[in-house]
Structure 1
Amino acid sequence: MEIENILGYLLNTSARLIKHDMEKQLSDFKITTAQWAVLKLLDSWGELTQTEIADKLKSDKATIGSIVTRLRKKDLIVKRLSIKDSRANMICMTEQSKIMVKQIEKLARRTSLNALVGFNKEEKDRLIQALQRIIHNLDEAGNQ
């Protein structure tokens, strides 16, 4: 089988190209794609613990910890003690990051549109469903 037909190669290459395009879009904001993912997740879900962020982004706690530290230094998030569990810190967006997310969403949409040129709505929907199924399948396999 040729490398151009191997699923892992195709997914990795497309993800790398999308990430590269997003990094160009994010350069003016001085954040990385990983930092953007955390901010977008917080924007969608509200306050979360570092563990919750790691779980939702399918990442490890150490990586999320360093991203949180960098975002705190940039005044884009704050940590607050959890009302429910005094041992846990909640990660919260600042007003600055809420404004930034709205601006970046437009750029992220542009990257997605560029990646999906020539796809009709049905093809886009099927692609998203297929990728979600791949993630679910491998996540389930990893938890067994």
Structure 2
Amino acid sequence: MSPTSTRTPVPAAGHQVEVGTPLPQTTVHLTRADLIRYAGASGDLNPIHWSDRFAEAIGMPGVVAHGMFTMALAVKTVTDWVGDPGAVRACSTRFTRPVVVDELDGVDVVFTGAVSAVEGRRVTVTVEAVSGGVKVLGATRVEVERA
């Protein structure tokens, strides 16, 4: 099982894109199992991603999602909209708050975004990620090249 997400449909190919064009909102539900799978795939086995006791002992609010996993989900929001993961030319973010993943209930992360620049075929999208009412990524930008 992978993280579950819900989103509105991607715009049709050839859709007019301009500054301010919104992306569909995407909600991703993360579970502890998702974090364990990501840890294995990435090699990041830090216990803050799977042990409440360890995370709390170092001052974390509980087990937290990998920052790079959260960023990857933000980028996926854009690539789903564009329709081509190979279209990404650059991405950047600032990790502002941890995504705390409850042992039993998991957590939802809501991604929204809008086009912030268009230069020929290059489109820059600014993405926001919110979990538990808190912004967890800041200054997230994904640059893609449209076909």
Tell whether the structures are fold-level matches, with TM greater than 0.5: no
- TM-score band w.r.t. shorter chain: under 0.3
Q: Which has the higher contact order (CA 8 A, sep 6+)?
A: 2
Structure (1/2) with the larger strand percentage: 2
Larger radius of gyration: 1
Structure (1/2) with the larger helix percentage: 1
